[in-house]
Amino acid sequence: MLGTPADIIRVMPNTPSLLGLGMSGLYAPESVSDSDKLYAGQLMEAVGKVCC
């Protein structure tokens, strides 16, 4: 679909994220680098807490 392999991090935020009070669950396969996982977590912290 994208034409090249891509690292995918799945995120499931909940409804209170709309108010900045949410909780997001993140999942990343072992092929995703630690720096990419950290970046995704920091990005989602903008709308609440993060659980990896």
User: Model confidence over 8-42: pLDDT tens digits?
Assistant: 999 998 888 888 888 999 999 999 999 999 999 99
C-alpha R_g of the chain = 12
Q: Give every CB contact of residue 7 below 8 A, 6+ residues apart in sequence.
A: 28, 31, 32, 33, 36
Measured distance CA(49)–CA(52) in Å, rounded: 10
Q: How far is CA 4 from CA 1, 7, 39, 47, 48, in A?
A: 8, 10, 21, 30, 32
pTM of the model: 0.78
pLDDT in tens, 39-52: 999 999 988 889 86
